[in-house]
A and B are shown apart, each in its own frame.
Chain A
Amino acid sequence: EAGVAQSPRYKIIEKRQSVAFWCNPISGHATLYWYQQILGQGPKLLIQFQNNGVVDDSQLPKDRFSAERLKGVDSTLKIQPAKLEDSAVYLCASSLPGGTYEQYFGPGTRLTVT
């Protein structure tokens, strides 16, 4: 079974530029999560989708971050404009709907904002 796919793996941009990350979940996983992980901290949930509907985006900085999940499969997370404090690893995870909530993570995208 293929795991969660993410791209790109690394990205370096200047502040005020925009960037987009892509995620393809495990086949059949209706729930998709985007996390931000700053060095030395645990993952912080940015947004959770159930199919193509948003379940929780309470910690998403909506003035600069946006995310979509078209057709309930792939998802894109965008940052525009980026700030220095956005430097982090962006993790995508997926899980089966309901029940156990066991999440499986992709390899992540390491973003550096200079």
Chain B
Amino acid sequence: QKEVEQNSGPLSVPEGAIASLNCTYSDRGSQSFFWYRQYSGKSPELIMSIYSNGDKEDGRFTAQLNKASQYVSLLIRDSQPSDSATYLCAARPSKSTFGDGTTLTVKP
């Protein structure tokens, strides 16, 4: 079992819809969770971090954390074509571990 698992893609949504990306982790010692966006041919870019249970909102992005279920999600509201990218989930601190990513395509 991988330490961080992401829902298999690709995920396709129409412009303006809500995109939901999910991630589970196996290490209960993980305390910090991150979402990175990676455009094709580019390096990962940090877009959200979350450390406590509940929701954290930043513009069109909402990260949700449920430590009891070992589950992290990212919601993107009013999806735009520019949101088309691979989204990577990461958990810390026991080991710097990334999931394999979910590729999102937003269709105009």
Q: How many residues of A contact B (CB 8 A)?
A: 20
How many angstroms from the CA of A56 to the CA of B96 in the assembled complex?
9
Which residues does B use to contact A, with CB under 8 Å? 4, 32, 34, 42-46, 49, 51, 88, 90, 92-93, 95-101
Q: Does A103 contact B (CB under 8 A)?
A: yes
Contact of A42 with B101 in the complex, beta carbons under 8 Å = yes
Contact of A101 with B93 in the complex, beta carbons under 8 Å = yes
Contact of B49 with A105 in the complex, beta carbons under 8 Å = no
Q: Does A108 contact B (CB under 8 A)?
A: yes
B38 to chain A, nearest CB (A): 9
Contact of A101 with B43 in the complex, beta carbons under 8 Å = no
- Most B CB contacts (10 A, CB to CB) among A33, A41, A43, A106 go to A43
Contact of B95 with A42 in the complex, beta carbons under 8 Å = no
Pick the contact of B43 from A42, A56, A91, A100 — CB < 8 Å? A91
A28 to chain B, nearest CB (A): 17
Which residues does A use to contact B, with CB under 8 Å? 33, 40-45, 48, 56, 89, 91, 100-108
Contact of B44 with A45 in the complex, beta carbons under 8 Å = no
Known: A43-B88, A100-B32, A102-B49. A108 touches B98 (CB 8 A): no
Contact of B51 with A100 in the complex, beta carbons under 8 Å = yes
**Chain A residues with CB below 8 A from B49, complex form:** 100, 102
A82 to chain B, nearest CB (A): 22
Known: A42-B88, A100-B49. A105 touches B44 (CB 8 A): yes
**Chain B residues with CB below 8 A from A100, complex form:** 32, 49, 51
**Chain B residues with CB below 8 A from A89, complex form:** 43
Pick the contact of B95 from A56, A102, A106 — CB < 8 Å? A56
